[in-house]
């Protein structure tokens, strides 16, 4: 894969469904802001898709809405093990509802989200509809809650994968660039 571009965002801060006194908005409690909260899902996805080692190069964060001490949006550039580039963008200040956008570019074709679906197209013209993209946190939380209730953790991400994703988010934050004026 030569390039991966992933965006996961929602309007939780803009639409006020993240409450002003939420622990999520306190960097001391949550560790990160809007970028880290949502970007961890994107780095987990890149790992799940087999992109191999991801090396952070730069993170730019913004306080678009200026309602929290933590950043509400960010964009990171990572180097793929293949030598390609991954761009991940995430945050709480998007214009409307949850959005998940995917674009993977390679020498053999493209996988991209269009109208809420994930589509693949090879260079020879073959095409597949890989299914609906549903960025619903409640759906992702179901296996965890089931594990708590039943003790069956088989539907959850292995703990080692979760720790690896969290460590990568830490490494990305270590590459944060100064905010530009007005961001």
Q: What is the mean pLDDT of each run of 10 residues along the chain (183 residues)?
A: 91 83 83 92 90 94 86 94 95 84 94 93 95 76 90 90 93 84 52
Q: Which of 41, 60, 32 is nearest to 170 (CA)?
A: 32
- The string of DSSP letters for 36-73 reads HHHHHHHHHHHHHTT---EEEEEEEEE-SS--SSS-SE
- For the stretch 96-124, what's the b/e string if a residue is b when 16 or more beta carbons lie within 10 angstroms of its beta carbon? eebbbbbebeeeebebbbeeeebbeeeee
For residues 73 and 89, give the distance between their C-alpha atoms in angstroms, rounded to a whole number. 8
Q: Which pair of tokens denotes residue 20?
A: 């002003």
The pLDDT value recorded for residue 91 is: 93
For residues 161 and 164, give the distance between their C-alpha atoms in angstroms, rounded to a whole number. 5
The pLDDT value recorded for residue 134 is: 76
Q: Which pair of tokens denotes residue 136?
A: 């619903």
The pLDDT value recorded for residue 99 is: 85
Q: What is the pTM of this model?
A: 0.86
Domains of the chain: 3-173 (3.30.360.10)
Please say whether the beta carbons of 40 and 163 come within 8 A: no
The pLDDT value recorded for residue 28 is: 84
Q: Which of 88, 85, 126 is nearest to 106 (CA)?
A: 85
The pLDDT value recorded for residue 27 is: 80
The pLDDT value recorded for residue 133 is: 84
Query: In whole angstroms, how large is the CA radius of gyration of the chain?
Result: 17
């Amino acid at each position: 894969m030569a390039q991966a571009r992933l965006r996961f965002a929602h309007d939780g801060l803009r639409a006020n469904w993240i409450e002003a006194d939420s622990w999520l908005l306190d960097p001391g409690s949550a560790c990160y802001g809007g970028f880290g909260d949502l970007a961890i899902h994107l780095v987990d996805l890149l790992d799940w898709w087999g992109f191999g080692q991801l090396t952070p190069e730069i993170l730019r964060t913004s306080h678009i809405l200026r309602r929290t001490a933590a950043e509400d949006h960010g964009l990171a550039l990572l180097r793929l093990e293949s030598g390609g580039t991954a761009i991940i963008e995430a945050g709480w200040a998007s214009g409307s509802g949850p959005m998940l956008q995917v674009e993977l570019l390679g020498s053999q074709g493209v996988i991209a989200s269009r109208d809420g679906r994930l589509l693949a197209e090879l260079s020879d013209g073959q095409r597949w509809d890989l299914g609906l993209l549903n960025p619903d946190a409640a759906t992702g939380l179901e296996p965890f809650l089931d594990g708590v209730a039943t003790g069956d953790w088989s539907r959850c991400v292995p703990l080692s994968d979760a720790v690896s994703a969290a460590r990568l988010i830490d490494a990305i934050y270590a590459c944060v660039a100064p905010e530009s004026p007005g961001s």
